[in-house]
Homo-oligomer: A and B are copies of this chain.
Amino acid sequence: MRPVGRTVWAIPGGHIPLRTTGREPEETSSDTVCLLNAGAQDAEIEMLVYYEDLEPIGPYRLKVPARRTRHIRFNDLIDPEALPLDTDFAAVITSNVPIVVEFTRKDTSRDRNAIATTLAFPGD
């Protein structure tokens, strides 16, 4: 079977809430990109982050080994720079091999959990 997925993915709706309630880190308000590499070759991934008012930042370089998944919080990205909180952003992800990308949000700003998720848009 050929590897599942695509090599270009887009996420338009990023926004990490400023406020968090509850235990860190598992209840921190966060936006997460969930990457699945079901293939036999390691994935070298680059992500560009887009904003409303400035040029895209990146690339953020991510690796997902063959037959592995990685869920990476945008909150935890620091190279080339950390993402600002409470700021609209979007992302475009490119990989050297097919991967599958889901975008998950957790908002604990108001004392309880709120969660949302969607597949990213396969761009190729």
Contact = CB atoms under 8 A, between A and B. Distances in A.
Interface of A: 1, 4-5, 8, 10-15, 22, 26-27, 32, 34-36, 38, 48, 50-53, 55-56, 67-71, 86, 88-90, 92, 94, 100-105, 107-123
Nearest to A113: B114
Kindly report how many copies of this chain are found in the complex they form together.
4
B5 A100 contact: no
Contacts of A13: 32, 34, 71, 102, 104, 117
6 contacts: A4-B92, A27-B109, A52-B69, A52-B70, A105-B115, A114-B114
A114 B112 contact: yes
Contacts of A113: 107, 109-110, 112, 114
A105 B109 CA distance: 16
